[in-house]
Structure 1
Amino acid sequence: MKPGIESSNFDLCIIGSGPAGIITALEYARLNPFENVLLVEYGLGNLAENSLDNSIKINNDINHHPPAECTNKGLGGTSATWGGRCVMYDEIDFIDRPILNGGCTWDGAIFKDIKTYIPIAARYFECGNPNFNITSTSQLTKRTIAEGFKQGVVTDDTLERYSMPTRFGQRYHADIESQKNLTLLQGYEARSFSEPDKDGKISFLTIRQVGTGQLVKISACKFVLTAGAQESTRILLRNTQIFNKLKATPGTLGKYYQGHLSGKIATVKFYGDPDKTDYSFGRDSDGTYFRRRFQFSTNFLKDNNLLNTAIWLDNPLYFDPKHRSGAMSFMYMAMITPILGKRLAPPAIAHSITKGKVYKVATHLGNILKDLPGSLLKPAAIFYKRYCVSRKLPGIFLFSPQNTYALHFHAEQIPFEGNCMKLDADGETLVIDYSLTDADVSSVITLHDVLDKWLRNCGCGELQYWFGKEELSSAIKSMSKDGLHQSGTTRIADTPEDGVVDKNLKVWGTENIYVCSSSVFPTSGQANPTFLLGTFAARLARHLTTTKVNENVLNNTKTYSAAALTT
């Protein structure tokens, strides 16, 4: 029987029910069937507007999406609107390089350890074969991304895999309800931890009912913050008393906020057979979708002090009708239609397609009329695959008879101290300072040049830039907009001087508070952080279980020793 909230001392209290919270809760509850687990969620239903988002101030709205477009409140968290792309981090992300200014505070040992939890994460995300290289996909082993391409400095063998996309709230609600030792509490905000004892142990957390403001004390042996980067960071910033055992609050708390640079500055023209270009999605034997991309070898990035970057084949800009595609113009028109557009895609994804522009509508209509009936038939087929089947088509990539494709870059940011989250004077409002550095931008430009040179040397193709060389930097700065992939503000490190949590995600200076959020990632790499966070959640559930077992063994040994002495 599930316990009452205030009357019980929970073994584990988890704050936040996004993918990290749900995986941690279900894994721990299943591994420890005789322990009581509480999962606390701020949202009750799908909150389009809420006080948490409304109390965030973004100081750069050119490069950062508004709070409501970055997160979701409610069971399942941001998985309610994510696109389902599952990507693993790379070896280079765990290697310190001069360009990171000492900001890579995790290492290859963690990367090696985390790989063992990939199958568990893949099961929760429902993204199929837990392998992210073409060697695991027989139909790709003898093919390249385009005719004539050769592996080397530039690679094409890394895969991104796709979830259903799995909406964690819908998918795992029944599992949570049926787990007898797991209690879900919705509509409560985590507010304040108790003062730590001399050993750094916290005995309770005060939570506040969102609707009434009623305060409730939750007693637990361990607490895990899985409330997303923004809210997990805000909770710690508001509760600096938990660091009383340290000489001071970790200086990195809230700092080194990172996301990704993203956009399009060039087209690739392949020389070979258009029918041999791997421009869209493949399907694995179990029906899951995957896609390949260009990346750069570990040694090349390390030796040339460059930031990890992925570049994949994409469509031309939808909003510009010079692409002359009736299907693309139809889809663009659908996205800018006020009511329909909001149903087709979340705001941030819609913005990536429309760029917020209502542009040359008459010319778009001309494209649609010119390509009839294909202008309607192609979108209709895509609509069915995107919205009417359980495993949805992850995106839309159209074949180019000319063998030309736009290139979409997705690039790492350096850990820059000036990018940060901090509390305003009221102690409640979260202020976010976010900008792009010159080093971020120059690395993107350099790697496009590297790709261009490599393709030419292979006799495979060439890049055609959309801007003059002198315009590239400002173009990248104006087009890159993130806030969706938040990392860095509670980073992993070996000491409290360098980070906020240790390698097991325990908050420095405490004995029983953990953070399982992408905010613990010291580097952002080329990948969106969602899948990697799932592996960390599975790893944390196992670590907490192992720790509990060791504590029980130690306590039993002490009891036995005391009894022996008495005898």
Structure 2
Amino acid sequence: MLLDARSLDEKAVLDCDVCIVGAGAAGIAIACELAGGPLSVLLLEAGGTSFHAAEQDPLQGSVAPSSPHAPAHLYRRHGLGGATAVWGGRCVPLDPIDFEARPYVPHSGWPVGWDEVAPFYRRAHDYLRSGACAYTVPEALGADAPETISGFRSDVIDTDRIERFSEPTDFGRAYLPRLRHASNVRILAHAHCLRVETAESGAVTALACAGEPQRRFAVRPRFTVIAAGGLEATRLLLASDGSRRGGLGNESGRLGRFYMCHIENTLGRLCLTPQARPAVVDFERTADGVYVRRKFCLNADAQRRHGLMNATFRLHFPFISNPAHRNGILSAVYLAKDCVLPEYRRKIATIERAQRDRMVQDWRFWAAHVGNVARDTVPVGRFGADWVRRRILPQRKLPHVVVRNRNGVYPLDFNMEQVPNPDSRVGLGADTDAFGVPRLHIDWRMTEQDVDSILRTFRVLRDAFARSGCARLDLDERSLEAQARDSTPIGGHHMGTARMAASLRDGVVDANGEVFGTPGLFVTGSAVFPTCGHANPTLTIVALAVRLADHLKMRARGEQAASIAARGQMAA
């Protein structure tokens, strides 16, 4: 059943067994797992079934002047499906090492292990529509698939790893029909959860909500799941400050701290030797039609031996901004950059900053780009037709542009894990939104260990490629550190601000996502990640959501059994 909170009676009170705040990937996955069962479910979504700009205003916030973080609202979305309405579809699981307490990574270690989470990745794949849970070249593409770089062998670099891509699946469109027809599920659109109200015991008494600024209502749930996103979930906990400890779950003082994003940049030049050496650069498709792309990583032993953070690398095309690449396709994409996704526009701007001393954007710059397109009219035309055929028209879309370099030279695009840093944080600002809730203030930071890990990782890669005889990694040591410091946080990866821990001394929620000191209140999503690995978070978000749904079912059965036993004892 789909309802509109703006049509509720003033001061209405809604009862349910499970209230889920947020109808993005995590919230919808939990609702689907509970659909058709004995628990009554209320799914609250601040937006509607389609995008409306005015509904995004509560996501606005401020960013510390010294931080390169994107504007607070960017890459977030109010509306059924949440950010899955605009995501790129990349699916990657965390690695076993990401769950470990690593002595060289402060505050590392999850209270759950890889073996406990791995089974839920397989179930998450069904929701994401990303095919089999297979992440090596032989598993995904078959034993006869060509090597990523022909002849390359290394004892530190894994080159048989892949990333898979969802359609990309918009959870609102994909799962709204199923939830609307589930007899135990109500979806309440345009429903803003403003505050979690608690008793002196810490238990949740109600959720204070609003359909419009002047139309308030309340929800009284047995269990509450905050699935509002890596930033918005923390904002709600911070704003629910009945404890006067700085927010619910803040007994340890860690709420809002340890804010991590993946660090992104493009550094160095990998030169294949000889330049005609076969290498797989473009997207491939599995037998079931899923797009995948090769990547390579330092293996876990190398990470431990050198004390490095986890990272992934991809062969990238030349800097798109610089017309010296003489590639008409790249110039056409650059000239049309205002039509691409905001995150890619921001990446282009980052590259331009890094090249500012070597690239002047005068009339000659623009003429060179136009000249590239003119010289490559036929390839550009073929690319445009292929883009329409594989990106615009089908449901399963080509993820993005990848262009082979004619000279066998590829910059390395990387995503790297951040060190959990308590001084990188989000908090509440002085301004409020139309509902009276304080807006977020973001102070994302890199650490010296982050920069050091980037530099030493690239040097380990350089030495490994040199030993192989298959390629040469050129690094400009004079500018390498400055380039590393100019790396940016990936905009949509908001992690760590309500971290999971074994005890309230070290985190905000326990291994099941239950908030310390507030029984029956759960948080799910990337906010609970204690460390972030290099993997895009969506697959792990859905896996943890499915795991939480199983826990809620078991918890409800346990409480019911205890209630029946208690009544039997009283009767006796």
**Structure-1-length-normalised TM-score:** 0.92
Return closer, same or farther for 1:534/1:151 CA change in 2, 3 Å cut-off: farther
Aligned to 2:452: 442
Alpha-carbon spacing, 1:537–1:197, altered in 2? closer, same or farther (3 Å): same
* Deviation at residue 275 of structure 1 after TM alignment: 6.5
Do the aligned residues in 2 keep the contact of 1:92 with 1:301 (CA within 8 Å)?
no
2:488 is aligned to 480
In the TM superposition, 1:313-332 aligns within 5 A as 313-332=315-334
**Residue in structure 2 matching 1:424, options 424, 429, 432:** 429
Q: Deviations over 1:83-112 (max 9, x none)?
A: 1000111112112223322x11415x4321
User: SS of 1:502's equivalent?
Assistant: coil
RMSD: 2.3
1:161-176 to 2 correspondence within 5 Å? 161-176=164-179
Once the two structures are superposed, the pairs formed by residues 90-169 of structure 1 within 5 Å of their partners are 90-101=95-106, 103-107=107-111, 109-139=112-142, 143-169=146-172
- Does 2:347 match 1:361? no
Aligned-pair CA distance for 1:281: 1.3
Give the structure 2 partner of residue 231 of structure 1.
232
Structure 2: segments with no counterpart, 5+ residues: 353-359, 432-436
Shift of 1:261: 1.1
SS at match of 1:193: strand
How high is the TM-score relative to the length of structure 2? 0.91
Q: How far 1:416 sits from its partner (Å)?
A: 0.8
* Bigger mean CA deviation after superposition, 327-336 or 81-90: 327-336
Alpha carbons 2:419, 2:449 under 8 Å: kept: yes
1:364-403 to structure 2, matched below 5 A, reads 364-403=369-408
Whole-Å separation in 1 of the counterparts to 2:251 and 2:313: 39
Q: Hey, what's the Cα distance between the residues in 2 that align with 1:240 and 1:160?
A: 41
Secondary structure of 2:377's counterpart equals: coil
Q: C-alpha deviations, 1:207-230, integer Å up to 9, x for none?
A: 012x34311010110000000111
The one-letter code of the counterpart of 2:472 is E
Distance 1:170 1:201, change over 3 A: same
- SS for the counterpart of 1:409 is strand
**Alpha-carbon spacing, 1:62–1:432, altered in 2? closer, same or farther (3 Å):** closer
Match of 2:529 among 521, 524, 527: 521
Structure 1 match to 2:28 = 22
Structure 2: how far apart are the matches of 1:286 and 1:246?
45
**In structure 2, what is the Cα distance between the partners aligned to 1:236 and 1:206?**
13
> What residue is the counterpart of 1:65 in the other structure?
70
* Contact 2:260-2:420 within 8 A present in 1 as well: yes
Matched-pair contact (CA < 8 Å) for 2:495–2:528: yes
Describe the superposition over 1:409-459 as per-residue Cα deviations: whole angstroms up to 9, x where unpaired.
100111111100111346713111112112111111211111121112122
**Aligned AA (2:403):** L
Report SS of the residue matched to 1:27. Answer: helix
Residues 112 and 324 of structure 1: CA distance in aligned 2, closer, same or farther (over 3 Å): same
Q: Structure 1 residues 444, 383: CA separation in 2 closer, same or farther (over 3 Å shift)?
A: farther
CA distance in 2: counterparts of 1:39 and 1:213, whole angstroms = 21
Greater CA deviation, 501-510 or 1-10?
A: 1-10
Measure the CA separation in 2 of the matches of 1:428 and 1:2.
29
Q: 2:207 is aligned with what amino acid?
A: L
* Partners of 1:147 and 1:272 within 8 A in 2: no
CA contact (8 A) 2:271 2:410 kept: yes
Alpha-carbon contact 1:412-1:525 (below 8 Å) kept: yes
- Structure 1, residues 60-94: CA drift from partner, whole Å, max 9, x if none? 47621112322111111111111100011111211
Letter in 1 for 2:89: G
Please name the residue that 1:268 is paired with.
270
CA–CA distance in 2 between the matches of 1:2 and 1:316?
Answer: 48
C-alpha offsets along residues 149-177 of structure 1, whole Å, 9 cap, x if unaligned?
12421101222100001111122221221
Percent of matched pairs sharing the same residue: 29
Residue of structure 2 equivalent to 1:461: 471
Indicate if the aligned counterparts of 1:137 and 1:284 stay in contact, CA closer than 8 A: yes
Question: 445-454 vs 487-496, which deviates more?
Answer: 445-454
- Classify 1:425/1:390 alpha carbon distance in 2 versus 1 (closer, same or farther; 3 Å): closer
CA contact (8 A) 1:314 1:408 kept: yes
| 1:16–1:227 CA contact under 8 A, matched in 2 | yes
Cα distance in structure 1, aligned partners of 2:489 and 2:368: 27
1:142 Cα offset (Å): 5.7
Q: 1:168 to 1:356 in 2, by over 3 A?
A: farther
Q: Secondary structure at the match of 1:236?
A: helix
Checking the alignment, whether the CA contact within 8 Å between 1:193 and 1:242 is kept in structure 2 is no
Q: CA deviation at 1:308?
A: 0.5
Partner of 2:87: 82
Amino acid at match of 1:51: D
1:369 deviates by: 1.0
Alignment match of 2:540 (pick from 497, 519, 532) = 532
Q: Distance in 2 between matches of 1:22 and 1:331?
A: 35
Cα displacement (A) at 1:12 = 0.3
Deviation at 1:243, TM superposition (A): 8.2
* Stretch of structure 1 that moved more, 263-272 or 129-138: 129-138
Q: Secondary structure at the match of 1:514?
A: strand
Whole-angstrom distance in 2 between the partners of 1:560 and 1:74: 46
The residue aligned with 1:38 is: 42
Q: Residue 194 of structure 2: which of 174, 191, 196 is its match?
A: 191
Q: Which residue of 1 aligns with 2:515?
A: 507
Provide the secondary structure at the position in 1 that maps to 2:142.
helix
Residue matched to 1:351: 346
> What runs of 5+ residues in structure 1 fail to find an aligned partner?
none
| Residue 498 to residue 394, structure 1, CA distance change in 2 (3 Å) | same
Distance 1:513 1:124, change over 3 A: same
1:102-140 deviation line (CA, Å, top 9, x unaligned):
x11415x43211111112110110000112222412435
Letter in 1 for 2:108: C
Measured in 2, the distance between the counterparts of 1:525 and 1:148 equals 28
In the superposition, relative to structure 1, how do residues 356 and 469 fare at CA in structure 2: closer, same or farther (>3 Å)?
A: closer
What amino acid sits opposite 1:322 in the alignment? A
Query: Aligned equivalents of 2:255 and 2:184: distance in 1?
Result: 33
Whether the 8 Å contact between 2:69 and 2:489 is mirrored in structure 1 is yes
User: Secondary structure, in 3 states, of the residue corresponding to 1:559?
Assistant: helix
